[in-house]
Amino acid sequence: MSEVWNKSARTTSAEGSVSVRVPYENGRIFAFAVLQEFDQSDRFIQDIMADLDARHSLSSADRSLALDVAVGVVRRSRTLDVVIQSRITRPRHKVEPDLWRVLRIGAYQLLFSRTPDHAAVDSTVDLCRLLDHPRWTGFVNGVLRGIGRLLTDAPATGPAVTSLPTSHGQWRSLNEAILPDPRTQRMQYYADAFSLPQTIAQRWTSRLSEAELTSACFHTIDPPGTTLRVNSMRADPNAVLQSLIDAGCKASAGKIFGSIQLEQSPRLETLPGYADGLWSVQDEAAMSASLLLAPQPGESILDLCAAPGGKTTHLAELSGDKATIVACDVTHGRLQRIRENSARLQLTSIQPMEVPKDGRDLPAGPFDAVLVDVPCSNSGVLNRRPEARWRFDQNGLEELVVLQTRLLLQACELVRPGGRVVYSTCSMEPEENRGVVDAVLMALRDFRLDRERQHHPGQPADGAYQALLIRSVRSFVDEPQNQL
């Protein structure tokens, strides 16, 4: 792992990459260390941030800058690379990895952040010196000033070779045609302009309407919003909303009753109502899964893939904390988060249960209702999980479908006749959604699809899919079931 250093303690690794030691000097060097670790490992960017942040003290302003730059560079890396490459003659493999990382940090601030252009250039040149590479300064200065000359104040209204999407449906006009022509290279344009891997760009451009495609793509590059779900057991939504407004938050009622939208994302534990368990953080698309299951007081309910517990606690609240909810997961640490969330929300109906990864030793049931929120590609929440786009591939998708199908079959086996199952993903991909449901319905003829919901990213919340399956009261004993 990279360690940030000061001028009295600086080293270079055997491979030539920067090795840094404490303390951090500013947010940009923190961001550099996070991005270096991300590029050299398979860890999630938020986990790296939390690990480094716990060992170093930055001001809130520097920490916010570091988070914006690190997450933004990961989210927009393909677009940044296209822009950077357009300003230099040497191929990327001829540029040192750490130097390219510095160029990405500078280019991100020029193109997509609120940093003034001169500050973006000067601070990135200073970063070269902090990293003990003064020989980079001239090259970095020249490349970034070249990028600055690409930018104009002219309006742009949609896809074009000189039109760069920024955020929230806005486009920025460029002085040169550096992007593919969306009329003849539609898939390549959306991949480069919205920083998507070829696989996702090909999938989405082949099946989404223009409006759906634009909305979904902007959703992947917009910083995620924060939505609160009011704990119906302990608070009135209007009273919670007013308390947040009185505390200076820019807040408004959401689309779902009991949800509240925050325009900014402050430290949540400092907001009124957090310590008292009056609300949780949950996107409206995720809320829809528990609402579809419609848990009732007195029911026995299984949440098969429960951690970190957002949907589990919602089930408890919807049932008046009077159901019996078994919350399963494969990791002890993740189950601890369910316990902590339940305690903060003062819910007593949730029973966490650790289960093995191979699916053995599940609770016996039968249950009145089962929620199975399966591991998925996360293609509906690329704004929240910036790494997911770069880890998406066909082989991984096929492996996920096998796991998802097994989990839904197990969920169906554990529900009583007449009971119900909700299958849930945060994916946009048909194979993970209706494809899994159809395969299970073919195998289990005593189930029917009652209804399904496809939430498109940005319309208005995250991308997600949910299907409600109902088991027949009678078993089909006369007809052998197909096996997958």
Domain containing 408 equals 284-471
Do 240 and 128 reside in the same domain of the chain? no
Please write the tens of the pLDDT for every residue from 69-78.
Answer: 999 999 999 9
Does the active-site annotation cover 426?
Answer: yes
Helix/strand/coil for 265 = coil
From CA 111, how far away is CA 100, in angstroms rounded?
16
Residue 457 sits in the same domain as residue 328: yes
Could you tell me if residue 482 is inside a domain? Answer: no
80/122 same-domain check:
yes
What CATH number did the domain enclosing 453 receive?
3.40.50.150
| 378 and 401, same domain (yes or no) | yes
95 DSSP assignment: S
Shared domain for 166 and 116, answered yes or no, is: no
State whether residue 192 is helix, strand or coil: helix
Domain closes at, from 99, 125, 152: 152
Q: pLDDT > 90: what percent of the chain? A: 79
Closest CA to 4 of 26, 15, 100, 14: 26
Looking at this protein, which amino acid is placed at residue 110?
L
In one-letter notation, the amino acid at residue 463 is G
Residues facing residue 327 across a β-bridge: 303, 352
pLDDT value at 5 more than 60: no
- In this structure, the number of other CB atoms found within 10 A of the CB of residue 462 comes to 24
Q: Is residue 452 part of a domain?
A: yes
3-state DSSP assignment of residue 348: coil
Q: Is residue 1 part of a domain?
A: no
- Give the C-alpha separation, 354 to 347, whole Å: 19
367-373 vs 300-303, strand pairing mode: parallel
Question: Do 254 and 195 have their domain in common?
Answer: no
Tens digit of pLDDT for each residue in 419-469?
A: 999 999 999 999 999 999 999 999 999 999 999 999 999 888 999 999 999
Domain membership of residue 227 (yes or no) is no
Is the domain of 139 the same as that of 165? no
Structure confidence by residue, pLDDT tens digits, 232-268: 999 999 999 999 999 999 999 999 999 999 987 777 8
Residue 443 lies in a domain: yes
pTM comes to 0.90
Q: Is the domain of 417 the same as that of 434?
A: yes
Strand duo 367-373 + 415-425: pairing: parallel
> How far apart, in whole angstroms, are the C-alpha atoms of residue 253 and residue 483?
47
Beta strands at 350-354 and 324-329: parallel, antiparallel or unpaired: parallel
Q: Is residue 61 domain-shared with residue 34, that is, in the same domain?
A: yes
Q: What is the CATH number of the domain that holds 104?
A: 1.10.940.10
Are 248 and 372 contained in the same domain?
no
CA-nearest of 364, 375, 341, 373 to 416 is 364
Residues 122, 243 within the same domain = no
- φ, ψ of residue 273 to 5 degrees: the values are 100, -15
Q: Please report whether residue 269 resides in a domain.
A: yes
Average of per-residue pLDDT values in the chain: 91
Task: Note whether 321 and 349 are within 8 A (CB).
Answer: yes
Decide if pLDDT at 7 tops 50: no
Q: Say whether pLDDT at 415 is over 80.
A: yes
The amino acid at 378: N
483 within domain boundaries: no
The answer to whether 120 and 113 have CB atoms below 8 angstroms apart is yes
Residue 320, domain member (yes or no): yes
Residue 356 has pLDDT above 60, yes or no: yes
Number of domains in the chain: 4
Q: Which of 221, 250, 268 is the last residue of a domain?
A: 221
Q: pLDDT-based confidence at 284, cuts 50/70/90?
A: very high
Residue ending a domain, among 122, 152, 182, is 152
Ranges of H-type helices in 40-76: 45-55, 60-75
**Per-residue pLDDT averaged across 408-424, rounded?**
97
- 3-class state of residue 52 by DSSP: helix
Is the Cβ–Cβ distance between 146 and 87 less than 8 Å? yes
Do 83 and 58 reside in the same domain of the chain?
yes
